[in-house]
Amino acid sequence: MANRMILNETSYLGAGAVQNLPVEIKARGFKKALIVTDKGLMDCGVAKKVTDLLDKEGIAYAIYDQVKANPTVKNVQDGVAAYKAANADCLVPIGGGSSMDTAKGIGIIINNPEFADVVSLEGVAPTKNKCVPTFAVATTAGTAAEVTINYVITDVEKRRKFVCVDPHDIPDVALVDSELMSSMPKSITASTGMDALTHAIEGYITAGAWELPDCLNYKSIEMIARSLRKATHENDPKAREEMAIGQYATGMAFSNVGLGIVHSMAHALGAFYDTPHGVANAVLLPFVMKYNADATGEKYRDIAKAMGVEGTDAMSQEEYRKAAIDAVIQLSKDVEIPQTLGEIGVKEEDIQKLAETALVDACTPGNPKEPTLEDIIAIYKEAM
């Protein structure tokens, strides 16, 4: 059986990477960009650092800055309207997964107008055309949406998130600049970093895992475990750069092998409570790891070793599985992530509906063992 790997065309990684944005836009002959971002990045000046580069090179642009933390169907629809009104010919999302996911939806619909009903893109939609040319500027070390074929949109009316998987949505150019990420506050650094760790761990144990993505995910776990504390508490430049590369590497991997029920359950929390995605993943990860442990062979030994646990080769299966989970919990505590669902406002009476939503999420089939509704309910309850 052949394994498929889909990667983006061009990436720049490292401090100052964003300087290549106008070079790439001009080299490809584009005339006007739609900037897709959020009010927070506009207000704090991060977006301006990017638009200043476009101004300097005389590249025209319009701005759509209404993206929500958990982007909605309306965000995508409004973005499509903004793109058309601007007569733009390319997209420049600036931000984390929210801006990237919104831009992916916009770009797909512009070039595949038969999918104007955003919900019709759920799952693996049969789009025919590649999305609008996209130059993705990452400002967080977390989602790796700048290099994945996935995006997630919230259906507010039905209180659900839906995952879209489409090789046509991958950005042409990714600009992963650790200097831009240095302006992110501690809480976002921590939560997006734990999101990246969740990607790496879930991708490493997913049902679709194989050797090449395993290499990327293992190294990502190692880099994130080594760097997240310093990136969060010290804003250390080297740690920021390692986080940027680590989250990108696992993005290349999990985009091709899938994820699991940490993400399914986190998507449900985001839809119900507007919970930040990284926080939801971080809280759920150790509980789901415990549930999945007996379906992971020796991979938790690798995870524990990558997390910096010593003596893993001499440990029993029970010991190294516990060590891997404990290392994740300790990192989460060290970067001041809440440890239970109760702390982030989850209500016991919503668990049945949350579990029903998670069970049918597009990430669930990737889990290393097939969960029942009762299994997911039990994990939610334990995490309370």
Q: Is the dihedral of CA 5, 146, 150, 363 positive or negative?
A: positive
Q: Do both 139 and 236 map to the same domain?
A: no
Residue 183's pLDDT is what? Answer: 87
Place of tokens 């359950």: 265
Q: Do both 157 and 90 map to the same domain?
A: yes
What is the C-alpha separation between 178 and 17, in angstroms, rounded? 8
Residue 132's pLDDT is what? Answer: 97
Residue 311's pLDDT is what? Answer: 97
Residue 72 domain boundaries: 10-180
Q: What is the CATH number of the domain that holds 114?
A: 3.40.50.1970
Burial, 198: exposed, middle or buried (Cβ in 10 Å; 0-12, 13-18, 19+)? buried
pLDDT tens-place values along the chain, 384 residues long? 799 999 999 999 999 999 999 999 999 999 999 999 999 999 999 999 999 999 999 999 999 999 998 899 999 999 999 999 999 999 999 999 999 999 999 999 999 999 999 999 999 999 999 999 999 999 999 989 999 999 999 999 888 899 999 999 999 999 999 999 998 999 999 999 999 999 999 999 999 999 999 999 999 999 999 999 999 999 999 999 999 999 999 999 999 999 999 999 999 999 999 999 999 999 999 999 999 999 999 999 999 999 999 999 999 999 999 999 999 999 999 999 999 999 999 999 999 999 999 999 999 999 999 999 999 999 999 999
Q: Do both 90 and 221 map to the same domain?
A: no
Decide if 3 is inside a domain: no
Final residue before a domain boundary, out of 180, 206, 238: 180
Decide if 330 is inside a domain: yes
Q: Do both 115 and 221 map to the same domain?
A: no
Q: Do both 237 and 124 map to the same domain?
A: no
Q: Do both 229 and 156 map to the same domain?
A: no
Q: What is the CATH number of the domain that holds 202?
A: 1.20.1090.10
Q: Do both 156 and 232 map to the same domain?
A: no
Decide if 1 is inside a domain: no
Q: Do both 76 and 153 map to the same domain?
A: yes
Q: Do both 28 and 122 map to the same domain?
A: yes
Residue 204's pLDDT is what? Answer: 98
Q: What is the count of structural domains for the chain?
A: 2
CB neighbours of residue 165 within 10 Å: 18
Q: What is the largest CA-CA distance in the chain?
A: 63
pTM (two decimals): 0.95
Q: Do both 22 and 157 map to the same domain?
A: yes
What is the C-alpha separation between 371 and 384, in angstroms, rounded? 19
Q: Do both 48 and 165 map to the same domain?
A: yes
Q: Do both 241 and 302 map to the same domain?
A: yes
